[in-house]
Structure 1
Amino acid sequence: MTTRFTSRSPVTGEPVGEHPVHGPEEVRAAVDRAGTAAGHWAACGWAGRRARLLAWKRSLARRTDAFASLISAETGKPVHDARAEVLLTLVHLDWAARNARRVLGRRRVPAGLLSVHQRALLAYRPLGVIGVIGPWNYPLYTPMGSIGYALAAGNAVVFKPSELTPGVGELLAQSLADAVPDHAGLLQTVTGHGPTGEALARSGVDKVAFTGSPGTARKVAAVCADRLTPLLAECGGKDAVLVDASADLDEAADAIVWGAMANAGQTCAGVERVYAVASVHADLCTRIVHRVRALRPGPTADAAYGPLTLPAQLTTVERHMKEALASGAHALYGGPESLRPPYVHPVVLVDVPEDSPVMREETFGPLVTVNAVRDLDEAVARANAGAYALGAAVFTAGRRTGLAVAERLDCGAVSVNSVLGFAAVPALPFGGSGDSGYGRIHGAEGLRSFAAPRSVTVRRFRPPVDLTSFAGPRRRAERAIELGRRLHARI
């Protein structure tokens, strides 16, 4: 008899649903079924896959309320936020379906003078079966950054959602089966805890796409290494906002508060650190505090945000806040009294030592630090000093200045005069480096992440000198090589 576990509301603790704990044999069976489905899916061709994925997108759009309700129940976030998550998912799925052929389809590339007799072609083939291990903070949008792009590239997918949000994963797989009934097994969901994810990584999938903490990513990477299974890892961030003296402070404060507090701060590319030029630091802080005073977390539809979905995260937020205060930081708003499980009310800290854990480790809660810096050069240096390198933002009056600063930031994505602007642009890749992981989802790079390049040459005519044959005179070949050498020595 299959063991089952219960998902619970982080608001009330009441059961949301019961789900099976899939073991290695069940995971392996799902991967085998996906392997069969992958062959049929690849045979559909670009047009066939596009039509079916767009049909699925339209079906998802019609089921927005059902998805939003379940996302809200399992994560605690307000339904409005959950609906926005569904919309982002639709935008990315639409882009992947419509652009897969353009990005991955066969095209001719220059052969070069040495191979002028060859027609050179580049194409991408599907990898086969992709194992996706998803997070709980955005249980639909984030994994679909891998699932939708992997399907558009011609693969099948086995999805292991977080044990906190298994229902969303099951509904997602069922929605594709309903919309595309002629491709059974194309997207399957396996549920359980850590061992289920490990079983998926060991199952022989052709690539694993993981979203989660750096610690867990290292464990998944070790498992993948046993079989040389490629891994795409998105491991969170400690994103910084840099505010120049010339910035519109109202716009900056508004964006910072939303970026830091939305989804209770549980956003991998959310705002956790702010570096403001000293001449505007106090003014910016006043504007930030004014805005956070109006925020009220809670279980109602009009709440600014919901609870911390993972109860253990409260411990991290508390530790980061208390250690910062003990080391000399000051709380402009909030403090220990902000911890009211399962909610955390907004916290704004200033004068935080750069070696404090709250400046180095991912907090993943509604807490933001705002430190003063001499100038943007110092802001860049501090932003780049951490182990994470996912996203960042720059606020400045000059567009050229903003772009110049963006070029100097060691991260995968930068917004100028906004926060998280890149997340809603499906043509842009998303991902980081360092403790933020490696690989990219979204955009053309995201499609290529789930495909393998295949090079093809077609001989057009017999060349005057064939360097790939023993039949021709060696002296002629030697003269051709010397001619080529001289040419490259001069140009």
Structure 2
Amino acid sequence: MPYAPSTVNQEQSRANEGPEAVRAAVGRARDAAPAWDALGHRERGARLLRWRRVMARRMDEIVALLESEAGKVRADALVELAAAFEHLGWAARHAGPVLRRRTVRSGPLMFHQRSTVEYRPYGVVGVIGPWNYPVHTPLGSVSYALAAGNAVVLKPSEHTPGTGRWLAETFAEAVPDMPVLGVVTGDGGTGAALCGAGVDKVAFTGSPGTGARVLAACAPSLTPVLLELGGKDALVVAGDADVEAAVEAALWGGCANAGQSCAGIERVYVAEGVYERFLDRITLRAPEITGGPGGDYGRMTVPAQLDVVRRHIDDALARGARAVVGGPGSVVPPYVTGPVVLADVPEDADAVREETFGPVLVVNRVRDAEEGVARANASAYGLGGAVFARRGGVRLAREMRTGMVSVNDALAFTAVGALPFGGRGRSGFGRIHGADGLREFAAPQAVTRRRFAPPLAIQTFARGPRDLARFERLLRRRGY
């Protein structure tokens, strides 16, 4: 029987909470935030690690929720939890070293001042989470925001509200005296209410279209926004690549979690010297991977996504592409029954230009890896990517206009706590994870403290002509 949060019934868990309820949740978070901030980095970190232990102890509950709400197979749920636990632990342990006050050089002109900078929490952060990774992705914002000293109000996807409630419930068990993680449930109306409820920053994960609406909703109040949006990530296979490893990475990157990964592989550009070998190998290997009951990946979480998958396949075939594995018949609601591999897809096809968000791989021939990188960069998206090459892989990776790249692997960067995650272009802006992710949820504060009177008085109206003359000579000499 699927787990249901003990503190709330299923009907309430799926309720659309309106502006009044959202404002009340933000108010509770704001009341709790000062005491949480006053704990300091070390004590907050200890409580966050306690939260992780509670979640690990109650892991069977969240696995059951991920299976029932998001349609995941157990393996995908466990992989998601492993990444979530890694990032929660990294944020808990590194917030102090990254955000604490540090001294900086004041420079020769201001050597009489002691200068410091530290990162102070915003106050209350609103987090709007997605349905594809309803634990890992919101925790990429929630755990870093909490570690930085903020309180958080989370709005999970309307498709996975129980997961959001479970996160709040386990936090309350671990930290019963500080209600700094609240949850409001509902659809886009609840998200809009959160944007207008007086939060100090909003972190959103979802589609570019919805991200634009979040940005517009936050604009009147000048509320800062972090946007982690979609992707159309490419894998580039060089002529000297390990072809078998590249095929495995392409299938994992494209089909794990039923292809419902913003940083999943959707396009593969293969150098012509190994193209036929790559295509032969993926044609043999892909049918061994199955979706559906007892399969390697689960159902599509949102039924409407099946329509997008079908449309992209049909459009590609109508433009002359070949379905070398699967095809329109693979779309059997609520599943895509196996990987769909399309070859020779025109670059203006929907399956190349738009995010498919399903287990569909476009495999196209290019002259060499450099052309593959150029085609990868031609996308309006710029989230992640991958390169396979025995030589020059890092050089090719650095040429990709994306926020993250894996060399001779796929999606490896998602589970490295120290690495920032985020994109460019239609993939959004701002970063979660790593030191950049911690700083994303804290505002830098610069402080100067005068230690003694300067020998040259310039920043005062008590200065005289002699001071100004000496200052002018200094400027000319030093080139200020």
TM-score, normalisation: structure 1: 0.94
Equivalent position to 1:330, from 322, 336, 340: 322
1:76 and 1:299 in contact (8 A); partners too: no
Matches of 1:485 and 1:446, distance apart in 2? 42
Match for residue 311 of structure 2? 319
How far, CA to CA, are the matches of 1:212 and 1:183 in structure 2?
29
In the superposition, relative to structure 1, how do residues 430 and 18 fare at CA in structure 2: closer, same or farther (>3 Å)? closer
Identity of aligned residues (%): 55
Partner of 1:467: 458
Match of 2:408 among 402, 417, 424: 417
Count, aligned residues: 473
- 1:205 pairs, out of 192, 199, 202, with 199
Name 2:222's counterpart in structure 1: 228
Task: Tell me if structure 1 keeps the 8 A contact 2:13–2:165.
Answer: no
C-alpha contact 1:8 1:74 (8 A) present in aligned 2 = no
Q: Match for residue 396 of structure 2?
A: 405
Deviation at 1:440, TM superposition (A): 0.3
Shift of 1:244: 0.3
Higher alpha-carbon deviation: 411-420 or 62-71: 62-71
Q: 1:141 deviation in Å?
A: 0.1
Do the aligned residues in 2 keep the contact of 1:16 with 1:74 (CA within 8 Å)?
A: no
Alignment partner of 1:347 is 2:340:
yes
Q: Quick one: distance in 2 between partners of 1:23 and 1:298? A: 36
Corresponding residue for residue 135 of structure 2: 140
* 1:227 aligned counterpart, secondary structure: coil
Q: Distance in 1 between matches of 2:404 and 2:254?
A: 17
SS at match of 1:325: helix
- Alpha-carbon distance, 1:21 to partner: 1.7
For 2:333, the aligned partner's letter is P
| Partner SS for 1:65 | helix
Which structure 2 segments of 5+ residues have no match? 5-9
- C-alpha distance in structure 2 between counterparts of 1:417 and 1:109, whole Å: 39
Any idea what the Cα deviations from partners look like across 1:2-24, whole Å, max 9, x if unmatched?
Answer: xxxxx999xxxxx9985322100
Question: SS of the counterpart of 1:111?
Answer: coil
- Three-state SS of the structure 2 residue aligned to 1:272 is strand
AA in 1 matched with 2:221 = R
Q: For residues 298 and 478 of structure 1, what CA distance do their matches in structure 2 show?
A: 81
Amino acid at match of 1:422: F
Secondary structure, counterpart of 1:182 in structure 2:
coil
Stretch of structure 1 that moved more, 470-479 or 194-203: 470-479
The equivalent residue for 2:90 is: 95
> In 1, are the aligned partners of 2:126 and 2:152 still within 8 Å (CA)?
yes
Uncovered stretches (5+) of structure 1, i.e. residues with no partner: 1-6, 10-14
> In structure 1, what is the Cα distance between the partners aligned to 2:141 and 2:272?
41
Of 56-65 and 365-374, more deviation after overlay is shown by: 56-65
Query: Partner of 2:220: helix, strand, or coil?
Result: helix
Match of 1:75 among 67, 70, 89: 70
1:236 to partner: Cα distance? 1.3
Task: Identify the residue that residue 86 of structure 1 maps to in structure 2.
Answer: 81
**Counterpart in the other structure of 1:435:** 426
User: Residues 269-291 of structure 1: CA distance to partner in whole angstroms, max 9, x if unpaired?
Assistant: 00000000011011011111222
Find 2:237's aligned residue among 243, 255, 259: 243
Residues of 1 paired with 2:66 and 2:473: CA distance? 67
Q: Give the AA of the match of 1:477.
A: L
* Corresponding residue of 2:158: 163
Instruction: Tell me the equivalent position of 2:7.
Output: none
Partner of 2:126: 131
Q: Return the alpha-carbon distance in structure 2 between the equivalents of residues 89 and 260 of structure 1.
A: 20
Note if 1:395 corresponds to 2:388.
yes
SS in 2 for 1:454: strand
Supply the distance in 1 between the matched residues of 2:299 and 2:251 (Cα, whole angstroms). Answer: 17
Structure-2-length-normalised TM-score: 0.96
Runs of 4 or more above 3 Å deviation: 15-18
Any conservation in 1 of the 2:99–2:439 contact (CA below 8 Å)? yes
- Structure 1, residues 30-80: CA drift from partner, whole Å, max 9, x if none? 000000111110111112111111111111111111111111110111012
1:360 aligns with 2:344: no
Contact 2:3–2:61, Cα closer than 8 Å, also in 1: no
Say if 1:123 and 1:454, in contact at 8 Å, map to a contact too: yes
Kindly indicate whether the alpha-carbon contact (under 8 Å) linking 1:276 and 1:379 is maintained by their aligned counterparts in 2: yes
Task: List per-residue Cα deviations over 1:441-478 (Å, max 9, x = no partner).
Answer: 00000000000000001111111102211223232233
The 3-state SS of whatever aligns with 1:52 is: helix
Residue 186 of structure 2 corresponds to 192
SS in 2 for 1:226: coil
Following the alignment from structure 1 to structure 2, what is the Cα–Cα distance between the partners of residues 233 and 84?
24
Alignment counterpart, residue 106 of structure 1, candidates 72, 77, 101: 101
- Structure-2 change in CA distance of 1:224 and 1:18 (3 Å): closer
